[in-house]
Amino acid sequence: MLKLQMSVLDSPENFKNTELIICDNETAGQAHMELFRSGDSDYIIPDKAASILDSLSHVINAYCSSSSLQKIHLVMGWPNILQVSLWQKAKPSAGDIFTLLRNAGISSEELQPFKKSDINDFFQWLYYGKRFDVLRRLCHIAKRKVEGNFKKYHIAVECHIIAEDTKKIVASSL
C-alpha cells in the first residue's frame, strides 16, 4: 500500500506543479495515487474542521492566485461530492439529492423508495446497482460547479468519487 505524505505540499508561492489533487481524506488520496501515480507533493487534504466548500475555496484561491496551477483533481467520497455538486455547505436533504439525481438521469419513480433514506443509501443503490453512468454525471456536475465558481482562474477541474468500502475510484469526470 502506498503511503502519502500529505503534509509536504509546498506553500502556494513555492508550488511549481501544474496539477493539484485535493482529497477529502487519506483514503481518497491513496485511491487517486494508485490509479494516477501522481507525486506526493501534488496532494492536499484540506482542514476537516471547515466545510468542504470553504476548504476548496481556501485552497483554490491560495494556489491559483500564487502559482502556475492549470488543473485540479477533486477526489472525494459521496457526502462531499454531493455538497460540491449542490454547492451547499449544509448536509444535503433527501429532496436535494432527489433533484440532483433527477438532473443526472434518474426517474422520480426510481427514487420513490428512498424518500426517507439516509444520503449514503443513494450511493449504495447507485454503486451496487452499477449505475456508473449516473455517478459519472454527478462527477461532471461537481466539475462544472467548481469551474463555474472559480472561472476567474481558468482552471481545469476533474472530479473523482471513491467508494469507502473498496477504497477505489468508482467514477470520474474524465
Residue 114: name the closest of 132, 133, 99 by CA.
99
d(CA 171, CA 129): 14
Are 167 and 31 contacting, i.e. CB atoms less than 8 angstroms apart?
yes
Q: Tell me the per-residue pLDDT of 44-101, one tens digit each, with 9 for 90 and over.
A: 888 777 789 999 998 898 888 877 788 999 999 999 999 999 999 998 988 899 999 9
pLDDT score of 63: 85
**37-to-2, 14, 31, 145 alpha-carbon distances in Å:** 10, 22, 10, 26
pLDDT score of 1: 35
Mean pLDDT on 2-15: 54
pLDDT score of 80: 94
d(CA 67, CA 21): 14
pLDDT score of 37: 86
d(CA 170, CA 52): 20
Q: Tell me the per-residue pLDDT of 87-138, one tens digit each, with 9 for 90 and over.
A: 999 989 888 999 999 999 999 999 988 888 888 999 999 999 999 999 999 9
Helix H or strand E segment including 83: helix 78-86
